[in-house]
Structures are given as structure tokens and as C-alpha cells.
Structure 1
Amino acid sequence: MENNHPKHIIAVSAYVTNENGEALMVKTHQRSDTWESPGGQVEEGEPLDKAVCREVFEETGIVIKPVGITGVYYNTSINLLSVVFKAEYKGGELKIQPEEIKEAKFVSLNEDNIGAYITRPHMQSRTIDAMNAKNCIPYESWEVRPYQLLGRLDNQ
């Protein structure tokens, strides 16, 4: 029997700042014309908050604590749903994975200089949303049968 369910890619990224208020940015081999927040594709069955921690660590060596979701975005060209988290820097040393990431660094990012780093308009808007987010959207992950709350982020 053929599965006619729509196919979508789910990706996560994190807007992370260090103790100096600088944002963690990466350049990928695939999109080397722009800086962007670290992140990547969610694996099947993986909670979004765990996926964003894994992706940021794999790409940069940085350990984060997600606070909440600042936005959800959809790219119709490739059926990609992107969930952006605000996250706290918890530790780790900046160390890139050269297979995935070309360069990574913390930058002093603001609305006046964002165009010098992030050249793609859809990535600029989601980064500005994350920078300006005073409150985040709550996020929960559940297991059912039996019902068990696996985790909740609610901007606390």
C-alpha cells in the first residue's frame, strides 16, 4: 500500500548568545555565502529540543540549554519547516566539524550590521525575531500510551 502522507523536512536552529551578548554563527559548505544560526535536520522520533542541542554541539562543540521557540518558518520550495529556538550558552569550546561547517564564531550582531553577516533575507528575519523575542512559545514533548511528559520549555 502506498503512503500518500505529505513529506516535510523538519529542521531546528538556535539563536545562542555568550556572556558578552555575541551570537553564535556558522558558515556551512552548502551556504557559504551567508552566516546563519547553527542547526540542522531533526531525526525521526527525536524531540525538537534534543535535536537542536545535538545539532549545535555536533557543528560547533558548544553546549546549550534551549529556553523556548521564537518562531516557526516554512520554505515551500523544499517543504522545510524550520523551528528556531532561543538558547543559553552553557559551555564547551568552539570547535567546528569540517565535514559540515566551514567556519563558526561568536559575533556582535544587531539589526544595523546583520546584513554584513546574514545575506539571505529569510534567515535575517528569523534571526531578528529571535534577537527581539522577549517571550518564547512554550514547547512540550510527550510520549503516549501511557501519557508521559518528556520535557517542557516555557521561558522560565
Structure 2
Amino acid sequence: MLLYMSNANREGRSMSLHSVSVAGVVVREDGRVLVIKRADNGAWEAPGGVLELDERPEEGACREVLEETGIEVKTERLTGVYKNMKRGVVALVFRCRPAGGEERTSDESVDVRWFTRAEVESHMVEAYAVRVLDALDAGVPQVRAHDGRRLFPADLAAGH
């Protein structure tokens, strides 16, 4: 659920409002990553959702993964910041490692699986596959923009 606040600053000018979400790319020792098939749209994605007002981003990622998959995780590092330009959603994505639990579905997930890199590339839409691929690749956190399905051209030139 999103909370709406006044969008006027001190000078009375309108400020844009954004929603902040978090996601966890959970990587097993064998390199497979935890993904869910979303209940609302049937898309394969890394587990995640809206960050609560009173939680740190890392805590939110751990909570969302547990709620949607039954897997407890520990965050390792921030791997990217992604903005859906159409919806005004900014997502913080963390690479995580499994720390317990067992896979299960939830109200938000109709399937939970461990995908290979090739399965990520073939089953996920570009805007969400890149989050997983960025987490699998070593390096600095990426900053990317998309329209909900496709990366914007400048982000395509960055290598995915």
C-alpha cells in the first residue's frame, strides 16, 4: 500500500512523488537464483515489494523474500537501482544468500523456483532479468531506467 503525502515543497512548487521498492536476488552456491511467478500478472521476477516507512532497505529486502518464498536470507550488497519511468517506482536490488527456510508460494507468488542464468534470460522480461543479471555479475551497483518491460536505450548500451 502506498501512502500519499503533500507534494508541495516550502515554496509551494509541486514535487514528484515516487514509490520505493526493494528486491532480493538470492544466489545459491551452485549459482542458481530464487525467482517467483507473480500471482497478479504471471511474470517471473526476483522476490520484492514496497519498502515500509519504518524499515531499512536491507531489512525490507529480507522481509519481502521471506514473505513471498519462505526463504530466509542475508543481504550481501546493493547491486542496482532501477526506475520504472512510467510508474515512478524506484527499486533497490540486493544480492542475498539463503540462510534457511523452505520454498513455498504465497498470496503474491504462484510458483517459486531456482533459475539458471540461461533461464533468467529466457523466462523474464528484460527490465526484470537485468536486475538478476546485474546481481550475478561482479562490479559496482548499476543505475538503470525502464518502462516496465524494456530498458531505455542508454541502459542497453551498458551491456545487457
Structure 1 and Structure 2 fold alike (TM over 0.5): yes
Correspondent of 2:16 among 6, 17, 32: 6
Question: Do the aligned partners of 1:16 and 1:87 also contact (CA within 8 Å) in 2?
Answer: yes
What's the CA shift string for 1:42-94, capped at 9, x where partnerless? Answer: 01121101100100000011000001100101111110001110011111111
Query: Which one-letter code corresponds to 1:36 in the other structure?
Result: E
| Structure 2 stretches lacking a partner, 5+ long | 1-5, 9-14, 143-160
* SS of residue paired to 2:44: coil
Amino acid at match of 2:65: V
1:121 has 2:130 as partner: no
User: In the alignment, which residue of structure 2 is the partner of 1:63?
Assistant: 72
Tell me if 1:101 matches 2:106.
no
The whole-number CA distance in structure 2 between the counterparts of 1:56 and 1:7 is 25
Instruction: Give the CA RMSD over aligned residues.
Output: 1.8
- Is this contact kept in 2: 1:67–1:136, CA < 8 A? no
Unpaired runs of 5+ residues, structure 1, are 138-156
Match of 2:58 in 1: 49
User: Which of 32, 56, 80 in structure 2 is aligned with 1:22?
Assistant: 32
**Distance (Å, rounded) in 2 between the aligned partners of 1:128 and 1:20:** 15
Aligned residues, how many? 131
Change (3 A) 1:19 1:41: same
Q: TM-score, normalized by length of structure 1?
A: 0.77
The alignment partner of 1:21 has SS state of coil
